[in-house]
Amino acid sequence: MHLPRQILLVEDELDLLECLRAYLTERGHDVFTASTVEEALRWLAHVTPDMALVDLRLPGGSGRAIVQEIQKRRLPTRIVVTTGCADLELRRDLLALGVTDYLFKPIQLRELQQLLSSSLTASPGSPCAPGAASS
């Protein structure tokens, strides 16, 4: 399985953003971070990531705008939505957007690793929740 090398990470919770950035970087990925829709769209103007981890609720807009931009440009980017909401209506909305991969918060690193590659042994599943990253 092809491991993503370039990952766009979009998250407004800065502790979680840093925790995930460190985790992914330690595993050899090039990580581009954004905490707003505008920052993410600026990255997409310059890079074509293999994967995008996109929080749905962001300041100044919705992660849906990022998903729609990736799809509009027909980028070969695997989209993974992160959210704290696990209702059936949201799952239907994500499927309508063409998103089949999602992680619920608090994000379990084991689940993230499984999304990155099904051929690698998953890391211990400690949650990567706000405040978990060291300062």
- At 14-57, the pLDDT tens digits run 999 999 999 999 999 999 999 999 999 999 999 999 999 999 98
73-99: average pLDDT:
85
pLDDT value, residue 122: 29
Please, are residues 82 and 39 in contact by the beta-carbon 8 Å criterion?
no
* Separation in Å, CA 72 to CA 22, 38, 64, 79: 30, 16, 12, 13
Radius of gyration of the chain (CA): 14
Taking the whole predicted model, whether its pTM rises above 0.85 is answered as no
C-beta neighbour count of 64 within 10 angstroms: 17
Q: Which fold has domain 6-128?
A: Rossmann fold (3.40.50)
Length of the chain: 135
State the number of CA atoms in the 13 A half-sphere of 69 facing the CB: 19
